[in-house]
Structure 1
Amino acid sequence: MKFQHIGEERVPVSALALGCMGMTDLYGVRNDKESIATIHAALDAGVNFLDTSDMYGPHTNEVLVGDAISSRREDAFVATKFGIVRDPDDPQKRGTCGRPDYVKWSCEGSLQRLGIETIDLYYQHRIDPNVPVEETVGAMKELVAEGKVRFLGLSEASLETIKRSQAVHPIASLQTEYSIWSRDAEDAGVIDYCRANGILFVSCSPLGRGFLTGQVTKFEDLAEDDYRRHSPRFQGENFQKNLEVLDRLREIASGRGMTPAQFALAWVMTKEPLMVPLFGTKKVKYLQENLRALEFTLTAEEMAQIEEVAPEGAFAGTRYTQELMKLVNA
């Protein structure tokens, strides 16, 4: 396993992180036995960086992760999140909450569900526009002082928000979507700022929510309860256009003897060597396939080919619905 480092203490975290969201929510049928086996296989392979959130389920994902690491706490660096509030009547609706009392209440719940004494990395999942981020991070800072949290992180935050947060307490990590098909963070200057200020950038959805793996070839491949059915990138003409771009990328990957998933992960790690791609899977075979991406570094020629085939903006559709896009880069 290769490693990156987080925080001023430079704590080692695996160069690939395992996202656990789809194990219990949003991506069709769950299989706890297989999911726990996948987490254990990841730990066995040296992947210590596990990612969850209180909104996945909600709450059930943290319980699953807690069960999986109950006898292996020392092997796991656990990241979880707060701040997204789901509508119980409509799973597609989201709200945000960054009130200090909510931060502390959420932390207590996560600790209990995970069965741990300290959360290694605690993210504000989405910024609450109605609460100054200084107040939210101030409450998170108190959790660090109490020993309930080691490092603080933000997710999908704007450059200005990161800077304001940094003035309250060091931000150790930023988690934001970044992949061949989602490159907003480049234009926003967020990646450059993180690199310059020692903030570990965790690129969530480096596989394009599974699209870049080539496993989803038609809309009907998505289960009825799969939330990607509501994503503009998986719908209608957008989906067909995106498949055409993907076909050209797969040709390049095949020429290198790589699967599409390995190719997408290798692109992130080649493009930004200090970035940790956070991929999700609930199957051991896909975990093992994805970890082989660590064996590859794309050449300058290959990176140029990718840029020609899939430059920024090549993929059609926004990554979330119009309503959910209001919650990113806040």
Structure 2
Amino acid sequence: MDFDDEHDEGYAKRRKAIILGSATASIGAEHYSKMFLAKEPYCRDSLRGMKETESIISVYFNLVLGAILQLYPVSLKPPSTTMHQRIAGNRRSFYPYFRDCIGAVNSSHIHAWVPVNEHKRFRDRKGIISQNILTACDFDSKFTYILADWEGSASDSRILDDAIHRQGAGKIVVPPGKYYLVDAGFANQRGFLRPYQNVRYHLKEWENNNQAPADKNELFNLRHSKLRNVIEHALSLLKSTWKIMKSQSEYPYKTQTRIVQACVLLHNHILNRNTIEEEEFLDQENAGAAMLGQQIGIQTNDEDAGDDSDKEGNDIAEDWEQFQDDIADKMWADYIGGGVDEDDYDDEDSSDEDYDF
């Protein structure tokens, strides 16, 4: 299958799923208006009529949900192994230090509705009944992974460990030699790089503060936080757009997890609209970036550039603490040699912008 065939097939699948979802929603609305809003006595006063209405709404709601989940194989794609322009284009803060980073991973708590006898398992550290979802996204704020079936009391590291060791489609896959950025709630391990612990990290801690990084640990954490902030932005956008994720929907728990998955797929679908034209444009942009990378010695794919002195990003060491120190040492040496980098204090992703319809 060539490039055009792949995109035509993906476009057809997305179009079919959206049409099916729209059709079932229209049919459900029609039944709702006839049975619930009609002036027939049994619809207004009869409990039986109400239950029939609720049953029909439930049927069509789940049909719409199922139609949206058909987008899964075309909207939730693995991350690209090509270096993103956000890293390749920022030679002061991100390149070459994070050149093999493919995105960020984070967990998030979503309100859940479960029976009272399940409250203890689903109560998170803030006392809220929730499910703890694990997500990964690339530097275009598109989700590349979603795991939504853990209770709110589960720790982030436990959920990630489950995602790593799952089999089949539920497994989080990290391409060889690549890694995701994670926060301090996760462990340093192959494929996942966290910041230094007990060191200033979050961007809010740096706002309105003229104090420059004091050492390599603070500098590493600042740049790590700035790059990892893409997952915070993606999750904030997801929750602010799909209000159902902020309420305790009284559906079976399995349906609640499917709702989260559907919202993630719709998030990606919106960002991927007009995908054929956009991807043709992006292909041209990436080709230009690759050519520029070759000219200035930036490696933008999995092939080894042949520079043994700069291979820590490709041939990742077994000891991830040492790998982290190696990045921080090089980063600090370049920083001291070049003076204060004003770009470190400028966070372009901190705004909570909406989808651009």
TM range (shorter): under 0.3
Higher relative helix content: 2
Q: TM-score, structure 2 length as denominator?
A: 0.24
Higher strand fraction: Structure 1 or Structure 2? 1
Computing the radius of gyration from Cα coordinates, the structure with the larger value is 2
Give the TM-score, by structure 1 length: 0.25
